[in-house]
Amino acid sequence: MTLQLDPTLGLPVVYLVDDEDVVRDALAWLLRSRRLLSEGFASAEAFEEFLATRGQPWPTAPSCLVLDVRMPGTSGLVLFEALVQRGLLPTLPVIFLTGHGDVPTAVAAVKRGAFDFVEKPFSNNALVDRVEQALQLSGQALLARRGVDGTARALAELTEREREVARLVVAGRPNKLIADELQISVRTVEVHRARVFEKMNVKSAVELANLLRKS
């Protein structure tokens, strides 16, 4: 596939968590062949330490995690559950690397929200294709989050009266009834309504309702 991401999101990054150096090195080389940046970690604990240094919200660029199921110390599954609890999916889709005996466990993880699992030994092209699809999903999730954040900022800019008008507009009330309920003139309602539409970047009550429903 051809990876197509919004350039304003920044460069995508693939995080590799595997205790075998040779596996991480091979994956990093494979990703470089597709012009993808990667960062490797030798353990789940090392990746958790990395997460602790990240600001919030994170990630801010399209990202995915290629995660080995079986590792000394904290297993990939335990790390995955921690990521679920932190709400990092789907901005950080997880692809498990698994041996044949771990397939049922990996399937269960997919049902819990993992993006996919790839059984060792894997096809290089198939794996990178799934990585690119995961990055695409991450980019979409980041854009959706950006939209929600933008809506929240716009709502915060509304005055108390504008919020009252917005609530009644979304409820389908005509200007005359809004004016009666708030005990203001119809002209004042029209002014507040126009300001609400401008601040929320919408052109109709239907658009405003849809925007608020998503936030």
Domain ranges of the chain: 7-149, 157-214
Average pLDDT over residues 125-143: 94
Per-residue confidence (pLDDT) for residue 65, from 0 to 100: 98
What is the Cα–Cα distance from 99 to 149, expressed in whole angstroms? 40
The crossing angle, in degrees rounded to 10, of helices 186-200 and 160-170 is 90
The domain 7-149: what is its CATH number? Answer: 3.40.50.2300
Per-residue confidence (pLDDT) for residue 153, from 0 to 100: 78
Identify the sign of the CA torsion 193, 198, 203, 206: negative
At 89, the amino acid letter reads L
Compute, in degrees rounded to 10, the torsion defined by CA atoms 79, 74, 105, 123. Answer: 80
Residue 74 neighbours by CB under 8 Å, 6+ apart: 43, 44, 45, 48
pTM above 0.85, yes or no: no
Rg, Å, the chain Cα set = 23
Phi, psi for residue 6 in degrees, rounded to 5: -60, 120
Per-residue confidence (pLDDT) for residue 143, from 0 to 100: 87
The domain 157-214: what is its CATH number? Answer: 1.10.10.10
In what helix (H) or strand (E) does residue 108 lie, and over which residues does it extend? helix 103-111
- Tens digits of residue pLDDT in 9-37: 899 999 999 999 999 999 999 999 999 99
Among the listed residues 62, 24, 22, 28, the one whose alpha carbon sits nearest the alpha carbon of residue 41 = 24
Whether the CB-CB separation of 55 and 149 falls below 8 Å is answered with no
SS3 140: helix
Average pLDDT over residues 64-72: 95
